[in-house]
Amino acid sequence: MEKRAEKRRIVLVPFPAQGHVTPFMQLGQALIQKGFSITVVQGELNRVTHIPGFLFVTIQESLPVSQLKTLGPVEFLTKLNKTIEASFKDCISQLLQQHDNDVACIIYDELMYFSEAAAKEFKLPSVIFSTVSATSRVCGCVLSKLNAEKFLIDMEDPEVQDKVVDDLHPLTYKDLPTSGMGPLDRYLELCREIFNRGTASGIIINTASCLESSSLSWLQQELGIPVYPLGPLHITVSTNPSLLEEDMSCIEWLNKHNPRSVIYISFGSKAHMEAKEVMEMAWGLRDSNQPFLWVVSESLPEEVSKIVSEKGYIVKWAPQNQVLAHPAVGGFWSHCGWNSTLESIVEGVPMICRPFGDEQKLNAKYIESVWRIGIRLEGEVERGQVKRMVKRLIMDDEGAEMRDRSIGFKEKLKASVRVGGSSYNALDELVKFLET
């Protein structure tokens, strides 16, 4: 009997921001290594253009990602998902024609939930890729199911802020990813839209069971679909699809410094800092007397540049993985985006946590209280406090202990992606699903 031609093409639908595009392209590369073909569907702006072996399809941007700032996350995502659905269906229809119906699955970012309608229409399997932590996903699921009226009242109560949220231990109300999202009721509506769908066949998460076993068990039980924790993806593949140009000169600068002496500072691709905060940071860093490498995309006032020039080095965008792997780096002051968190742990670098929005506060809670590999800088940034934090991290025993624990996780993470490890097995399971 003639063997049915296997469907080997996977369509990827990333959300167009660096922290989402990177793990998506890494997943694509991991699947190419397993013999699949990859087509990436993306908008015209803010996109990756070349990755060997990938096919890129462009759909006209219904809502440029630049509007994320003006509209706020909730309005932006709601609008984007409404306006793009039809053109995505057209795009899938064309792809099926071009490739002889050879599409095995649509893997979409949980924020790009419009993809589900096309999967349904063309009877294609779909899998969600959640590029944040498993705990963030649990948090989204819990928020999408709770009594919205009671939650809105609770959130108004200052005394509730330090209470642990049911089902989300050890997260408290103030750790929830609600700030900066827009009106709370609209945010909860969006959570229901994203997390209550139940139509996808599985969910991929860029995490490993040694980091988040209880959140992963919760998801397995609660969702009733396979969960594939196959991360950290950046250990297994080399793709690093930077949307911005990396300034490699910082590696030469790092080469001139002693082991574990430099503090690396980066707040990811979206964070914006107030001028006063930047000034306090600059003074505190200078007073700490430790060398520091600081990623700042905006131009700094002359006064700050002057303070920084004594001990620091500024770049607009760094080759972050190389920086974290550099022996001179002793600590990472981070906004605690999920990719940065994973990248830091994989290099065994302890952290100063300064979360801004999204799920960063939740990651910071895990870094400080669950994994105990970092300290959190709370309240207003003030130079004396900055100096003390840097000292604790780089010079004190406390920092050395955090580093040791982080190195312990690094070993476990590396083992999880090796043959027989939990992430390795999860990728295998996913491949089996995609092949059927």
24 binds ligand UDP (CB under 6 A): no
Residue type, 361: K
Minimum separation from the CB atom of position 165 to ligand UDP (A): 23
Residue ranges with strand state E in 169-283: 202-205, 227-229, 262-266
284 binds ligand UDP (CB under 6 A): no
Those residues whose C-beta lies under 8 Å from the C-beta of residue 234, and which sit 6 or more positions away, are 22, 23, 26, 240, 321, 339, 342, 343, 346
* CA–CA dist 354, 265 (Å, integer): 10
338 binds ligand UDP (CB under 6 A): yes
Q: List phi, psi (to 5°) of 424.
A: -60, -45
Cβ 353 vs Cβ 374: under 8 Å: yes
* CA–CA dist 363, 347 (Å, integer): 17
**Residue choice 11, 16, 22, 73 for contact with ligand UDP (CB under 6 A):** 22
Cβ 336 vs Cβ 342: under 8 Å: no
Cβ 27 vs Cβ 130: under 8 Å: no
Minimum separation from the CB atom of position 128 to ligand UDP (A): 17
Minimum separation from the CB atom of position 150 to ligand UDP (A): 31
Cβ 140 vs Cβ 221: under 8 Å: no
Contact flags string 186-225 toward ligand UDP, x per CB under 6 A: ----------------------------------------
Residues 288-307 within binding reach of ligand UDP (CB under 6 A): 295
**Residue choice 126, 178, 209, 269 for contact with ligand UDP (CB under 6 A):** 269
* Tokens 């600081």 -> residue: 294
* CA–CA dist 347, 327 (Å, integer): 10
Minimum separation from the CB atom of position 268 to ligand UDP (A): 3
266 binds ligand UDP (CB under 6 A): yes
318 binds ligand UDP (CB under 6 A): yes
322 binds ligand UDP (CB under 6 A): no
339 binds ligand UDP (CB under 6 A): yes
Minimum separation from the CB atom of position 86 to ligand UDP (A): 28
Minimum separation from the CB atom of position 18 to ligand UDP (A): 5
Query: In the complex, which residues of this chain contact ligand UDP (CB under 6 A)?
Result: 17-19, 22, 242, 266, 268-270, 295, 317-318, 320-321, 337-340, 343
